[in-house]
């Protein structure tokens, strides 16, 4: 049984809950429990979409800095890859994933949110990458995912200054997708992904793989990846059901097979 991160499944939606009071600081144990929860959500066929949610007032206020005060360079060389790959486990969940953000999503908390497909945030939330103020840089995907999401100039502004931004700015620059009152954040995130619980799971998986995979290669390679994934879907039951339902002018009944 994990101490701080758990996966709960209800009606096809898996909720990965972080609960390490008071601010859900992301220490090494949380990191590894997050990896395990993401892998479980990926493997569980009953999970068709995922919500990442911080229990309490805050999504995650960043890394547990007490772990950084005495760590040496050789020690961090050994640990840095595991930190990044734990967050990458969330990014690689082959299903739609949304972060439900209240309070602070700072440092590693912001990087965790960036590993999701969408971000629903509270109107009083604060997001940012303040690592520069500690004499370091984001080390779990922040420099890469933030620049890809909002563009390099805006990412450099946030990372170079380490400043926090409010919900209005997050929405304006594309870091947030929806802004709602804090007590509506989780329910809004659930409703955002609910339609995917009855969708064509393999096609959704392929679409996510094509988009995310294409961002890291040139256009020709991305188009080749898309063609490969597109053709592969013609072996699925859902493709047969979807095209037949269209011809028969009825709603398809996808099974995820």
C-beta of residue 175 within 8 angstroms of C-beta of residue 155: no
* Unique residue bearing structure tokens 């709602």: 180
Angle, helices 152-161/142-150, rounded to nearest 10 degrees: 140
Catalytic, out of 111, 169, 184, 226: 111
Q: What angle do CA 153, 103, 111 make, to 5 degrees?
A: 45
C-beta of residue 26 within 8 angstroms of C-beta of residue 63: yes
Nearest to 64 by CA among 4, 15, 123: 4
Please confirm, yes or no, whether 184 is among the known catalytic residues: no
DSSP-assigned letter for residue 179: E
Give me the sign of the Cα torsion angle 78, 80, 86, 88.
negative
**Beta strands at 13-18 and 49-54: parallel, antiparallel or unpaired:** parallel
Is residue 116 within a helix (H) or strand (E), and if so which, with residue range? none
Nearest to 64 by CA among 5, 20, 100, 6: 20
Rounded distance between C-alpha atoms, residue 129 and residue 243, angstroms: 45
Catalytic, out of 131, 169, 226, 241: 131
Please confirm, yes or no, whether 111 is among the known catalytic residues: yes
Q: What angle do CA 183, 186, 190 make, to 5 degrees?
A: 140
Rounded distance between C-alpha atoms, residue 78 and residue 197, angstroms: 39
Is residue 218 within a helix (H) or strand (E), and if so which, with residue range? none
| Residues that are catalytic | 111, 131
């Amino acid at each position: 049984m994990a101490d701080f991160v758990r996966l709960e499944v209800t009606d096809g939606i898996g909720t990965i809950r972080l609960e390490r009071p008071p601010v859900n600081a992301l220490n090494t144990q949380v990191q590894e429990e997050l990896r395990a929860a993401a892998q479980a959500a990926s493997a569980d066929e009953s999970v068709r979409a995922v919500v990442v949610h911080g229990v309490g007032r805050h999504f995650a206020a960043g890394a547990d800095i007490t772990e950084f005060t005495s760590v040496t360079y050789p020690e961090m060389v050994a640990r840095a890859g595991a930190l990044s790959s734990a967050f990458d486990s969330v990014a690689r969940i082959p299903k739609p994933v949304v972060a439900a953000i209240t309070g602070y999503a700072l440092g590693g908390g912001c990087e965790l949110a960036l590993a999701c497909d969408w971000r629903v945030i509270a109107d009083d939330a604060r997001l940012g990458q303040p690592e520069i103020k500690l004499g370091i840089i984001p080390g779990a995907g922040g420099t890469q995912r933030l620049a890809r999401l909002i563009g390099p100039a805006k990412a450099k502004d946030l990372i170079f200054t380490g400043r926090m931004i409010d919900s209005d700015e997050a929405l304006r620059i594309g870091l947030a997708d929806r802004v709602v009152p804090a007590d509506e954040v989780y329910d809004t995130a659930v409703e955002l992904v609910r339609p995917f619980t009855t969708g064509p799971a393999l096609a959704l998986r392929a679409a996510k793989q094509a988009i995310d995979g294409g961002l890291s290669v040139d256009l020709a390679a991305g188009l080749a990846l898309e063609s490969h994934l597109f053709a592969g879907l013609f072996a699925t039951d859902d493709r047969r059901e979807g095209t037949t339902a269209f011809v028969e002018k009825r709603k398809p009944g996808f099974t995820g097979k």
